[in-house]
Amino acid sequence: MKRMTILLGGLMTGALFAFPAAAEMIHLMARKGDVEKVLAEIEKGVPVDLPSTLHTTVPGVSPLSVAAQFGRTDVVIALLEKGADPDFNRPAEVMEGDNDVLGAPIHEAARNGHAEIVQLLIDAGANPTLEDPGLGTPLHQARRWDHAEAAGILLANGAEETVQAPSIEPLLALADTANGQKLANGCGLCHSLETGSTDIITGPSLWGIVGRKIGEVDAFEYSDVMASRGGTWDYDALNSLLASPTAYMPGTKMEISGVSTPEARADLIAYLRTLQ
Ligand code: HEC
Taking only the tens place, the pLDDT of each residue in 170-207 is: 999 999 999 999 999 999 999 999 999 999 999 999 99
Distance between Cα 253 and ligand 1 center (Å): 8
How far does residue 203's CA lie from ligand 1's centre (Å)?
Answer: 5
pLDDT at 125: 98
In the predicted model, what is the mean pLDDT of the chain? 90
Q: Give distance in angstroms: CA of 111 to centre of ligand 1.
A: 21
Helix axes 2-32, 35-43, angle to 10 degrees: 140
pLDDT of residue 58: 63
Could you tell me which residues come within 8 angstroms of residue 57 by beta carbon, excluding any fewer than 6 positions away?
Answer: 100, 101, 102
CA dist list (Å): 236 to 170, 265, 266:
11, 11, 10
Q: How far is the CA of 18 from the centre of ligand 1 (A)?
A: 47
Q: What is the per-residue burial (b if ≥16 Cβ within 10 Å, else e) of 94-110?
A: ebeebbebbbbbbbbbb
Kindly state if the Cβ of 189 falls inside 6 Å of ligand 1: yes
Nearest to 55 by CA among 74, 76, 32, 71: 32
CA distances to 21, 235, 264 from 207, in Å? 55, 15, 20
- Write down all domains in the chain, each with its CATH number in brackets: 2-156 (1.25.40.20), 169-272 (1.10.760.10)
**Nearest ligand 1 atom to alpha carbon 272:** 35
Label residue 219 exposed, middle or buried (CB < 10 Å: 0-12, 13-18, 19+): exposed
Q: Say how many Å lie between the CA of residue 191 and the centre of ligand 1.
A: 7
Distance (Å, whole) CA 206 – CA 233: 11
Residue nearest (by alpha carbon) to ligand 1 atom 28: 206
3-state secondary structure of 213: strand
Partners of 191 in beta bridges: 200
The answer to whether residues 8 and 53 touch, using CB atoms and an 8 Å cutoff, is no
Q: SS3 of 182, please?
A: helix
pLDDT, tens digit (0-9, with 9 covering 90-100), for 102-138: 899 999 999 999 999 999 999 999 999 998 888 899 9
Q: Is 172 in the pocket of ligand 1 (CB under 6 A)?
A: no
- Helices 35-43 and 73-81: angle between axes, nearest 10 degrees: 20
Whole-angstrom distance, CA of residue 159 vs CA of residue 116: 16
Q: Is the CB of 211 under 6 A from ligand 1?
A: no
C-beta of 223 in contact with ligand 1 (< 6 A): yes
Q: By alpha-carbon position, which residue is closest to atom 40 of ligand 1?
A: 187
Contact between residue 155 and residue 115 where contact means Cβ atoms under 8 Å apart? no
Give the per-residue pLDDT at 3: 43
Report the distance separating Cα 28 and Cα 24, nearest Å.
6
pTM of the model: 0.88
CB-based contact 138:106 (threshold 8 Å): yes
Q: How far is the CA of 255 from the centre of ligand 1 (A)?
A: 8
Residue 180 near residue 270, CB atoms below 8 Å: yes
Residues in the chain where the model's pLDDT stays below 50: 1-18
CA of 113 to the centre of ligand 1 (A): 25
Nearest to 224 by CA among 244, 243, 252: 252
Q: What confidence score (pLDDT) does residue 60 get?
A: 85
215 CB within 6 A, ligand 1: yes
